[in-house]
A and B are shown apart, each in its own frame.
Chain A
Amino acid sequence: MIHLYQNNGYNIVLDVNSGSVHVVDELAYDVIGFLEKDNPLHAVESLRDEGTKAKLFAAFEDGYTLTNPKGSPAPQGHELRNALGYTREDVCDVLEAVIELTKEGRLFARDVYEDFIDVVKQRKTVVKALCLHIAHDCNLACKYCFAEEGEYHGRRALMSFEVGRKALDFLIANSGSRRNLEVDFFGGEPLMNWQVVKDLVAYGREQEKLHDKHFRFTLTTNGVLLDEEVQEFVNKEMDNVVLSLDGRKEVNDRMRPFRNGKGSYDLIVPKFQRLAESRGQQKYYIRGTFTRQNLDFAKDVMHFVDLGFKQISIEPVVGEDSDPYAIRECDLPDIFREYDVLAKTMVERERAGKGFTFFHFMIDLEGGPCVSKRLSGCGSGTEYLAVTPWGDLYPCHQFVGQEEFLMGNVDAGITKPEIADEFRSCSVYSKEKCRNCFAKFYCSGGCMANSYKFHQTIHDTYDVSCEMERKRVECAIMIKAALAEA
């Protein structure tokens, strides 16, 4: 399975099953496209077949291109020379290169993973990450909040140290030989329960020595209560910190007001700037949400850059179709254009030595995750669980408050292992829509909470999100192609 696309002047061939990325000229782009359709075996033997070469010559003499696959009237007798000046020799060169890459397993690679999926899905998993809902309360009233201003379809509550301690004990006890354990302090707004955060970090540091574990603590905050004392502690103890802000003042303040309706931008921005700087512009994300009310979100990304931030994430909102801010299918062309603008800008900035990171364009073509990770998805419900302020366990933060997903609690542990089993069984091979998607090994089947929200099953996909994910993968690879140029 291959995916061919053109972006920012680059012709790109992604070989889906090997993960190989080829940047090709126009002729190779057309030849590979032709072979994908007209040589369905894609085996070295069939590529070497004289008949394949003859078909290629005939097609290209007939003016074949991917955009004009039936061919235009034959140019200048039988001399193969298209507008770009390619010859039969060029076609043979491309075919030889294609055969070599196919032999090496870098082009037309077969899907060997479906046979492997049972091994992955039946493996024993351990819990390695917890999302601690330290506070089901918030000092902002963001209009798109999936947590309903921190309350998660329930009551306002703060996690006690006792519940948090049991959660860390549960994590250690269920983590097997896994050494690195992740704990995110989440909310609502976790700084509204700051003393418990600090006490839990201290407890975790004690316990990690006793059990030969290493806690990686992270914090997701809106910054309202961020002060010097918090900053110092965060810099000492938090592996990563996610700072919530949406971008330009008018964009941020429209969606992220205080409960009295006043905007939060002016209070928060200087605090986040200081924190990012004090961390050496590393190990944090300034993280925003874009909605259909700011489809020109590349401007918000660049606003963050202008404010001095280097680690940036801006994500599409997830909302009901009836929500005025929700992304709709008709918004996709605008969103795609915006991702293209952003990707081109990032290439220019990087070349000028002023690069920055955009989370959704991060892609590691050499050292990315192994197949096992790509097949097993995000780990929700198995390796990753959310803990409510009163100690209930859910598959992830987005399922909190949906009683059918209540899996257990920090006292009794997992009491409904069948829920974990269902999440474990979910993969790109259990979702029909993923089978022929070129991006399946990059999103691993997408967010199960979003699938459930829109289709009432975790074995489906949130289609608008899939479209955006495919576009982001294309942009991310284009950036790699552009920066690989001398």
Chain B
Amino acid sequence: MKHIKTLNTQTLNNTVKKGGCGECQTSCQSACKTSCTVGNQTCEQKK
């Protein structure tokens, strides 16, 4: 029996070196305008 199922293969620390290009969308421009929702943005390089 498998006790642990991991949903994602990527880890955040993998993005330390190759990230930071800055081409992604600005958070508040999308839909919120009153809260900060960075985590639901998509990386521009992976589109």
Interface residues of A, Cβ cutoff 8 Å to B: 13, 17-25, 27-28, 90, 93-94, 97-98, 101, 105-106, 109, 112-113, 116, 120, 123, 125-126, 128-129, 131, 146, 178-180, 182, 184, 186, 216, 218, 220, 240, 242, 285, 287, 289, 313, 315-318, 359-360, 362-374, 377-380, 383-384, 396-398, 439, 441-448, 450, 465, 469, 473, 476, 480-481, 484
Q: Are B12 and A371 touching (Cβ within 8 A)?
A: yes
- What chain A residues lie within 8 Å of B13 (beta carbons)? 17-18, 105, 109, 112-113, 371
**When chains A and B are docked, how far (Å) is the Cα of A366 from the Cα of B46?**
9
Main secondary structure of the interface of B (DSSP, over half): loop
In B1-47, the 8 Å CB interface with A consists of 1, 3-13, 15-16, 18-20, 22-44, 46-47
**When chains A and B are docked, how far (Å) is the Cα of A128 from the Cα of B23?**
9
- What chain A residues lie within 8 Å of B30 (beta carbons)? 240, 285, 359
19 A–B contacts from the bound complex (CB under 8 Å): A20-B7, A21-B8, A23-B7, A94-B3, A182-B25, A182-B26, A242-B33, A285-B31, A318-B35, A359-B40, A365-B7, A368-B40, A368-B42, A368-B43, A373-B38, A439-B39, A444-B36, A447-B35, A465-B35
Nearest to A476 among chain B residues (CB) is B40
- What chain A residues lie within 8 Å of B3 (beta carbons)? 24-25, 27-28, 90, 93-94, 97
A318 interface neighbour in B7, B34, B47, Cβ under 8 Å: B34
Main secondary structure of the interface of A (DSSP, over half): mixed
- What chain A residues lie within 8 Å of B37 (beta carbons)? 359-360, 442-443
**When chains A and B are docked, how far (Å) is the Cα of A94 from the Cα of B2?**
9
A2 to chain B, nearest CB (A): 12
**Known interface pairs A368-B41, A447-B34; A373-B8 also in contact (CB < 8 Å):** no
Q: Are A384 and B28 touching (Cβ within 8 A)?
A: yes
Minimum-distance CB pairs A-B, first 5: A370-B19, A442-B39, A372-B20, A370-B15, A129-B26
Interface residues of B, Cβ cutoff 8 Å to A: 1, 3-13, 15-16, 18-20, 22-44, 46-47
Q: Are B39 and A94 touching (Cβ within 8 A)?
A: no
**When chains A and B are docked, how far (Å) is the Cα of A339 from the Cα of B30?**
21
